[in-house]
Amino acid sequence: MIINTKSRTGQAQFDAACEAMESLDFPVDARAVPDPERLEDELRAALAKKPDLVILGGGDGTISGLVDLLVGQDVILGVLPLGTANSFARTLGIPLDIPGAVEVLRTGAPRRIDLGMIDNDYFANCAALGMSPQIAKTVPHGLKKVFGRVGYLAWATYQFAKFRPFTLIVGEGPTAVRLRVVEVRISNGPYHGGTELVDAAEVDSGEIVVQAVVGHVKRRLVKNWAASFFRHKARHEDTRDFHGKALRIDTIPKLPISIDGEVLATTPVMAKVAAGIIEVMAPR
């Protein structure tokens, strides 16, 4: 078990996680990692011991940042959702509390799932263009850890005032589709920011879904977010979905892309799916 104790609740809940793990029928080697830059080294060291199960504790960024190292390994991923949004855990139906998540490790079953890809970088849940990378690039260090989701939403409101719609290009050549949009979600699962936004995306569908929120004005994005939060049918009125094994994505102007909350790429990119590439412990 490797826990990112730099994440919002990681440090406070490490002891609770260790205590909950005592209910399991197998021994757990627990590591608290306060420096995120050491996470990859800790995971490599753990994988060198050939474990049956690797449990990662943290937020969506922690999972996506480490999931590349699990590809091609004969190991099952376990998830302790200790982040702000925990979209990956929500997609899998894993409870968001430590006892519930540990119970899935005890009584659940391995489930083979897809990963999304931006060029050659794997991700677990969702990549985005628009507001999300703008927020991720500018959010003050430690804001999420101190103020949680409320602080994050307050900063998002501030950034929204400076945001502008942009042009999305899906595909290449004469068949490429051009749209004026206010947000783009590249999804391996339905949740983004803890809210179910992309209904068509499934973690084991064998397809990547690119959803565009279409519009020339920012209020379209506000409407879509609000309708999605309340599960209102209006959430589908301003969206257009593209499905496929691989889709080329470009924008005018060139824009950064956040991958599960971390800005890691810039358009143009290839959005792809790696079908059935890892196993994760999920509820039966």
pTM of the model: 0.88
Is position 154 within any domain? Answer: yes
Residues 97 and 237 in one domain: no
CATH value at residue 12: 3.40.50.10330
In a domain, 283, yes or no: no
* Residue where a domain terminates, one of 50, 81, 113: 113
Give the pLDDT confidence score for residue 150 in this predicted structure: 62
Whole-number pLDDT of residue 182: 94
Contacts for 22 with CB less than 8 Å, ≥ 6 apart: none
Task: Write down which residue in 50, 83, 113 finishes a domain.
Answer: 113
The total of structural domains in the chain comes to 2
Kindly report the CA angle at 194 between 190 and 195, in degrees rounded to 5? 60
Which residue pairs from 226-235 have beta carbons closer than 8 angstroms and sit at least 24 positions apart in sequence? 228/195, 228/196, 228/197, 229/195, 231/196, 235/197
Residues 90 and 146 in one domain: no
**Same domain membership, residue 137 and residue 243:** yes
Q: Judge if 106 and 166 occupy the same domain.
A: no
Do 125 and 186 meet the contact criterion of CB atoms below 8 Å apart? no
Domain assignment present for residue 284? The answer is no
133 with 255, same domain? Answer: yes
From first to last of its 284 residues, the chain has per-residue pLDDT tens of 999 888 566 677 888 999 999 988 888 899 999 998 999 999 999 999 999 999 999 989 899 999 999 999 999 999 999 988 899 999 999 999 999 999 999 999 999 999 999 999 999 999 999 987 777 676 666 655 555 566 666 767 777 777 899 999 999 999 999 999 999 999 999 998 889 999 999 999 999 999 999 998 888 888 988 898 888 888 889 999 999 999 999 999 999 999 987 889 999 999 999 999 999 999 99
Residues of the domain holding 14: 2-113
Distance between CA atoms of 193 and 197, rounded to whole angstroms? Answer: 9
- The CATH number assigned to the domain holding 252 equals 2.60.200.40
